[in-house]
Structure 1
Amino acid sequence: MKRRTFFAAVAAAGLTAAAGCTTTTTQPDVVDILAANDEFSTLVAAVGAADLAGTLKGDGPFTVFAPTNAAFEKLPAGTVESLLRPENRDQLASILTYHVVPGAVTSDQLAGQRLDVKTVQGTTVDVNGTHGVRVNNARVIQADVAGSNGVIHVIDSVLLPN
């Protein structure tokens, strides 16, 4: 019996050592997750136009309230096109960083809570987790999409800072 235990331990150690030599797949970051889903093509284009991809690919952790393409379509006609122009880059960056909160905040941490949360942009958003989760007037339609550097909550409206 002791012999089996010894060989099992040696085999397990060999597998562990072999696993260290193989390439491991890492979890994608928040930008890669959004870029891989066509539902966020407008958001991804905006992040690129505002030159924020490098920042959002950083260590984080971040909580990103990610508006879908349908959310951007709710804005007045011409708004997205105007924001994507180079001369409006600062305004676009301000809007996008208003969708990002430092730290990884999951929906279970928000459940039953009403909070004013400071965004990366510098002002606060009203998070209401008493009946589902709402951020200002946007409803979280999919929560807790985990990335290597944070978490994404999909929202149905674009957040606009005051």
Structure 2
Amino acid sequence: MTINFSTLSKYLLVLTGVLGLGSLSISPALADNHTDSMDSFAEMEQMPVGQTNTEVGNIVEVASGNETFSTLVKAVEAAGLGDTLSDSSASYTVFAPTDEAFNQLPEGTLEYLLQPENQEVLQQVLSYHVLPEQVTASEISGGTVDSLNGGLATAVTDAGVVINNASVITPDIEASNGVIHAVNRVLLPSDLQSSLASELGIEETEIYQ
């Protein structure tokens, strides 16, 4: 078979021209797609990944945001312990009396503790509710634990954790610098019970509830 090189050359020239025109017509679209893709990647890079608003506050902030602890927060401020319990470098466990727990104190007790001249007594009472480390409810067993102001008796019953004569009613409230356990009674150091009773003119048994 004889190949006509002249005809073949013309055919190749025509084919090259067609491909060239096709390339010219396609290139802008490809360029647009490429630009769009780059823009999309740029937008993706700017989007926050895994960003949430679930950051937990410190013990004072968490308690302040819970209406159950409004009296406790007031007492912490009066005692000047706000900075201590807000310290992000520390770790605490707070057995936090609810408002109802404070209401169960003998008449006049809370008012007495909140007086500026009795700040030291209030500090002793509140420090008795604080452990110098984080302890979850599941880590508490029968025995004793050391608070910032003396030992606390602990027990675990079918109903839950008991601290002295107070029951933990809401355990493991998370904070950035520790944990809060809501309790249904105010804990009072034994060495303060008689002096408080004397100041209030009541029987010591009333103080212990």
| TM-score, reference length from structure 1 | 0.83
Please name the residue that 2:136 is paired with: 106
Query: How many residue pairs were aligned?
Result: 145
**Which piece of structure 1 moves more, 26-35 or 68-77?**
26-35
Does residue 68 of the first structure (1) align with residue 133 of the second (2)?
A: no
Structure 2: gaps (5+ residues): 1-40, 191-209
Q: How does 1:121-132 map to 2 (within 5 A)?
A: 121=149, 123-131=150-158, 132=160
For the 8 Å contact 1:64–1:153, the answer to whether it is kept is yes
Which of 1 and 2 has greater Rg? 2
Within 5 A, what are the aligned runs for 1:77-156?
Answer: 77-110=107-140, 113-121=141-149, 123-131=150-158, 132-156=160-184
Decide which of 80, 87, 111 is 1:51's aligned counterpart. Answer: 80
Question: Identity, % of aligned pairs?
Answer: 43
Runs of 4 or more above 2 Å deviation: 17-20, 22-26
**Partner SS for 1:129:** strand
For the Cα contact (< 8 Å) 1:114–1:130, is it kept in 2?
Answer: no
Give the partner amino acid of 2:130.
V
SS of the equivalent of 2:83 reads: helix
Asked if 2 retains the 8 angstrom alpha-carbon contact of 1:114 and 1:127, the reply is: yes
Question: Relative contact order, CA 8 A, sep 6+: which one is greater?
Answer: 1
1:130 Cα deviation (Å)?
A: 3.5
Q: Secondary structure, in 3 states, of the residue corresponding to 1:70?
A: helix
Q: Specify every segment of 5 or more residues in structure 1 that has no aligned partner in the other structure, as ranges.
A: 1-10
> In the alignment, residue 84 of structure 1 is paired with which amino acid?
L
Listed one character per residue, the Cα deviations across residues 116-155 of structure 1 (whole Å, up to 9, x for unaligned) are: 111012x100111243100000000000001000000000
CA distance in 1, matches of 2:112, 2:85: 23
In the alignment, the residues of structure 2 paired with residue 126 and residue 100 of structure 1 have an alpha-carbon distance, to the nearest angstrom, of 13
Q: What is the deviation of 1:19?
A: 3.9
> Does structure 2 conserve the Cα–Cα contact (< 8 Å) formed by 1:138 and 1:157?
yes
Measure how far apart 1:35 and its partner are. 0.6
* Cα distance in 1 between the residues matched to 2:48 and 2:92: 30
| TM-score scaled by length of structure 2 | 0.65
Q: Which residue does the alignment assign to 2:187?
A: 159
- Greater Cα offset, 84-93 or 37-46: 37-46
- Matched AA of 2:148: V
Distance 1:35 1:107 in 2: 22
